[in-house]
């Protein structure tokens, strides 16, 4: 079974940073996996990724938040004139980025989110051939507006569609509200509202390979 310790061990094996000071949280997205973090088929346009928060301060890292999300753009966002103008829709590259602040998605005060800071660098693949994969796609870093947001508060959205064109998106609105409230408990944010959050995005199948070899 994959738990918080397995995930942080995996992150360390990739040279990523773990925040283990009391009151400091780790935001992690695992692409293509189920609630129990076993891999799934990772089909396009589905809410088949996980948004996690890990508390690593007690000696044994613990997953304290685990909900459905997407780390990939929807089919509708993949096939637009704007995506083609940009040489393909953005698909965030696996890795760890310190790039987000508390704010509002697209400036909407009714939609709290972690928003990409002006100087927050995030690498993405551009899906120019529109095959819903990263393989062979060039990596770009000149992107902006890649937020950690949600869908709609008034209904359950079945497919990703236009809700992500590169953003990290939580599926259910109530889960997202809880996510924002938990991230606000981070002591670094309490000390400085302009605190820049780090977030890690990893591949579920690669995590599974690591876990089953241990």
**142 Cβ contact partners less than 8 Å away, ≥ 6 residues apart:** none
Closest CA to 134 of 44, 67, 52, 39: 44
Taking CA atoms, 197 is separated from 27, 120, 183, in Å, by: 8, 10, 9
Per-residue pLDDT tens listing for the chain (214 residues): 899 999 999 999 999 999 999 999 999 999 999 999 999 999 999 999 999 999 999 889 999 999 999 999 999 999 998 899 888 999 999 999 999 999 999 999 999 999 999 999 999 999 999 999 999 999 999 899 999 999 999 999 999 999 999 999 999 999 999 999 999 999 999 999 999 999 999 999 999 999 999 6
Q: What pLDDT, on a 0 to 100 scale, did the predictor assign at position 214? A: 64
For residue 158, what are its two tokens? 């079945």
List the domain range (segments joined by +) for residue 16.
4-213
Which pLDDT score, from 0 to 100, does residue 59 have? 84
Q: State how far the alpha carbon of 187 is from the alpha carbons of 16, 25, 28, 33, 190, in Å.
A: 21, 9, 18, 30, 5
- Total number of domains in the chain: 1
């Amino acid at each position: 079974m994959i738990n918080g310790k397995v995930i942080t061990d995996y992150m360390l094996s990739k040279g990523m940073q773990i925040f283990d000071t009391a009151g400091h949280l780790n935001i992690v997205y695992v692409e293509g996996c189920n609630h129990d973090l076993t891999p799934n088929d990772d089909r396009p346009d589905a809410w088949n990724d996980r948004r996690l928060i890990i508390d690593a301060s007690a000696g044994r890292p613990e997953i304290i938040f685990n909900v459905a999300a997407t780390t990939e753009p929807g089919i509708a966002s993949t096939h637009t004139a704007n995506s083609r103008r940009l040489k393909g829709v953005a698909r965030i590259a696996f890795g760890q980025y310190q790039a987000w602040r508390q704010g509002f998605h697209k400036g909407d005060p009714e939609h709290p989110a972690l928003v990409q800071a002006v100087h927050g660098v995030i690498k993405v693949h551009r899906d120019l051939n529109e095959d819903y994969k990263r393989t062979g796609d060039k990596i770009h870093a000149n992107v902006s507006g890649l937020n950690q947001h949600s869908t709609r508060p008034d209904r359950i959205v079945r497919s990703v569609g236009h809700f992500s064109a590169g953003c990290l998106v939580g599926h259910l609105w109530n889960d997202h509200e809880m996510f924002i409230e938990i991230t606000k408990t981070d002591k670094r944010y309490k000390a400085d509202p302009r605190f820049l959050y780090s977030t890690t995005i990893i591949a579920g199948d690669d995590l599974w390979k690591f876990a089953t070899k241990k």
